[in-house]
Amino acid sequence: MHSNHVHTIHGARHHFGWDRAIPPALTVAPGAGVAFECLDSSGGQLLATSTVAEVATLDFARINPVTGPVFVDGAEPGDVLKVTIEHFKPSGFGWTANIPGFGLLADQFREAALKIWSYDAQSLAPAAYSAQGRIPLKPFAGTIGVAPGEPGPHSIVPPRRVGGNLDVRDLAAGTVLYLPIEVPGALFSVGDTHAAQGDGEVCGTAIESPMSVALTFDLLKGERLATPRFTTPGPVARHLDVKGYEVTTGVGPDLMEGARSAVSQMIDLLARRHNLPAVEAYMLCSVAGDLRISEIVDQPNWVVSFYFPRVVFE
């Protein structure tokens, strides 16, 4: 970090939803480094000892807490907050769940399911899913953003033009994120940390995992920005690429239906090939597989592809 002093915000300083009226937990100058202790997206409701019964009783008022907010001196509407993601300090514990009513295929998977993960927080070696499968890890923050300009409160669940629940896997160590500022001080918060996720997060959860994240803040004055943008430090899928992919496709006039078709076919393929219950294959797709738009110009049909890394089982 290029700051002499690194501040820490403990996990107790968290909030639910976005609201410009929430008082800052910390005020810093541009150039400052801050370490945030982030809770998992259940807000500590799911633990290493939890059972699937607890998924059905989750209190959704306590979902997706974010640590903060941080007031950045001199930040004004129309400026851009530059956030350098320095490093993560993972916990070694995580969970993935199928939550009834949530996820791309919620109509097909109506029953709760829960997978508890244990991984090496130091080495970040691939985490065991089963006797035959292991998931390559890549820690990142799922929810990262600043307060919207309109008076709140606003739900934390949907992403927004000022960031929030973006669930972009590549907001990992070394990435630089740029966020449009709509309120004085920016009022930045972060949470929903993940040990791994596929692009699309198709079942609605990743490897949800509490961890600390160290960030550095800078200010770009008067550099207007419509929505978040970011720069990665290098390759983004190297942890998955090594053995190639199995790929299914959805072809048709509706991108959402194409995505659902591609994922459904991959679930069928994984369940059949590896003798997995369908919901287990669905959760695997969420933590390790990538949805891609392969073609969006040859009307009337578009192509959505779902890439599942073979390294998980090989």
Q: Write the CATH number for 145.
A: 2.60.120.580
**Bridge partners (DSSP) listed for residue 247:** 307
Categorize the per-residue pLDDT at 70 as very low, low, confident or very high, splitting at 50, 70 and 90: very high
What would the pLDDT profile of 270-288 be if each residue is shown by its tens digit? Answer: 999 999 999 999 999 999 9
Tokens of 120: 């090496």
Q: Is the pLDDT of residue 268 over 90?
A: yes
Tokens of 258: 């194409």
Predicted TM-score of the model (pTM): 0.95
Helix axes 278-288, 255-274, angle to 10 degrees: 120
Please say which residue of 231, 262, 292 terminates a domain.
Answer: 231
Q: What is the mean pLDDT of residues 133-148?
A: 97
- % the chain with pLDDT above 70: 98
Identity of the residue numbered 211: M
Same domain? For 62 and 177 the reply is yes
- How many domains would you assign to the chain? 2
Whether 308 maps to a domain, the answer reads yes
Q: What is the dihedral of CA 211, 12, 25, 224, to 10 degrees?
A: 40
Q: Is the pLDDT of residue 152 over 90?
A: no
CA dist 183 and 181 (Å) reads: 6
Order of all β-strands in the sheet with 302-309:
245-252, 302-309, 290-295
Which ranges of 87-237 does DSSP label H, i.e. alpha helix? Answer: none
Q: Is the pLDDT of residue 3 over 70?
A: no
Dihedrals φ, ψ of 42, to 5°? -85, -5
pLDDT at 160: 97
Q: What is the mean pLDDT of residues 189-208?
A: 98
Same domain? For 148 and 212 the reply is yes
Same domain? For 225 and 249 the reply is no
Q: Is the pLDDT of residue 239 over 60?
A: yes
Q: Is the pLDDT of residue 2 over 60?
A: no
If one counts every other C-beta atom within 10 angstroms of the C-beta of residue 24, the result is 18
Q: What is the mean pLDDT of residues 44-52?
A: 97
Q: What is the mean pLDDT of residues 68-92?
A: 97
Same domain? For 50 and 74 the reply is yes
Same domain? For 105 and 245 the reply is no
- Cβ-based neighbours of 165, under 8 Å, separated by 6 or more: 64, 142, 143, 156, 157, 158, 159, 192
Q: Is the pLDDT of residue 156 over 60?
A: yes
Categorize the per-residue pLDDT at 5 as very low, low, confident or very high, splitting at 50, 70 and 90: low
Same domain? For 295 and 173 the reply is no
Domain that holds residue 196: 6-231
Q: Write the CATH number for 253.
A: 3.10.28.20
Whether 1 maps to a domain, the answer reads no
Please say which residue of 231, 262, 284 terminates a domain.
Answer: 231
Please say which residue of 202, 231, 260 terminates a domain.
Answer: 231
Pairing relation of β-strands 33-38 and 6-9?
parallel
C-alpha neighbours within 13 Å on the C-beta side of residue 48: 7
- Which DSSP symbol is given to 228? -
Whether 46 maps to a domain, the answer reads yes
Report the run of H or E that residue 23 belongs to, with start and end: none
- Cβ-based neighbours of 145, under 8 Å, separated by 6 or more: 18, 159, 160, 162, 163, 164, 166, 179, 188, 189, 190, 228
Same domain? For 158 and 272 the reply is no
Whether 47 maps to a domain, the answer reads yes
